[in-house]
């Protein structure tokens, strides 16, 4: 995977030096293949805010580990008490497919999330289960629609239209920072091609060549509800046991 990321970056750099701007696909591929750490452990605050400004805060412990082309993520809810020990697990494969599970303590059962549930919203947030995964570049067609400078960041603007006509979004538009290959803003359009949600990057941290998005905000413009995802106490390339990412661990919880 790292070799592919390096090759992708070199090809785009060579094209730029030759005066050839990257295509939409190349931009999204470079963003998708941006270097990541072998592991990541962090505290995650999920802040839900309604149209009246009322907030609900959920505290989560998050673990991520790369397993030879399969990225596995575990999220364990710590607070509030009514959802404590609820656990979500996501496995992302190189071909763009994903497996997802959720453990609900009240039912004492691990439930596999079917593809039919990908459009459901995760734990009352503005992120769907599909939003929490890594969408593969091949699942959309991509076109550069322009360039823009936002908050001092020079960005490519890329429109992506899903290959699957039944996909929940009719299109997305992403503003990608040129020198870092990270999405600074992303718009999601519903089946009627009306703007539904906007994802904004609030903050990020650099750990050598690795960039970690430490705060993002998803705003649903149709119901005026928003969700902030904020990482803290981030540790990269820390030893995390392989058995952390199992159904048994989901049931066991953190001790």
Residue 146 CB contacts under 8 Å (≥ 6 apart), including other chains: 157
What would the two tokens of residue 196 be? 């539904």
Q: Residue 5: its pLDDT value, please?
A: 45
pTM higher than 0.85 for the full model?
yes
Residue segments in the chain with a per-residue pLDDT below the cut of 50? 1-9, 12
pLDDT at 116: 85
In sequence order, the 6+-apart residues with CB closer than 8 A to the CB of 4 are 33
Residue 233, sorted as left (phi over 0), alpha (psi -120 to 50) or beta, turns out to be left
Radius of gyration of the chain (CA): 18
Residues 74-120 pLDDT 10s: 999 999 999 999 999 999 998 888 999 999 999 999 999 998 899 99
Domain 2-252, CATH: 2.50.20.10
pLDDT for the residue 21: 84
């Amino acid at each position: 995977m790292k070799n592919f990321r390096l090759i992708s970056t070199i090809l785009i750099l060579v094209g730029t030096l030759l005066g050839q701007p990257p295509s939409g696909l190349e931009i999204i591929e470079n963003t998708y293949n941006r270097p990541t750490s072998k592991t990541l452990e962090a505290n995650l605050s999920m802040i839900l805010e309604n149209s009246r400004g009322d907030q609900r805060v959920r505290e989560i412990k998050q673990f991520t580990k790369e397993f030879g082309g399969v990225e596995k993520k575990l999220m364990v809810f710590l607070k509030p008490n009514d959802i404590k020990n609820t656990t979500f697990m996501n496995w992302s494969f190189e071909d763009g497919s994903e497996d997802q599970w959720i453990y609900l303590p009240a039912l004492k059962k691990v439930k596999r999330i079917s593809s039919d549930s990908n459009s459901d919203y995760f734990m009352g947030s503005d992120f769907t289960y599909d939003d929490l995964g890594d969408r593969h570049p091949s699942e959309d067609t991509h076109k550069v629609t322009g360039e823009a400078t936002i908050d001092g960041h020079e960005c490519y603007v890329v429109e992506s239209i899903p290959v699957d006509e039944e996909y929940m979004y009719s299109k997305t538009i992403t503003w990608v920072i040129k020198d870092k290959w990270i999405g600074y803003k992303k718009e999601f359009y519903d089946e009627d091609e009306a703007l539904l949600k906007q994802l904004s990057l609030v903050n990020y941290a650099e750990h050598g060549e690795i960039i970690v998005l430490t705060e993002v905000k998803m705003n649903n413009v149709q119901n005026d509800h928003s969700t902030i995802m904020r990482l803290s106490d981030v540790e990269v390339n820390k030893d995390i046991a392989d058995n952390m990412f199992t159904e048994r661990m989901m049931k066991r919880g953190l001790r």
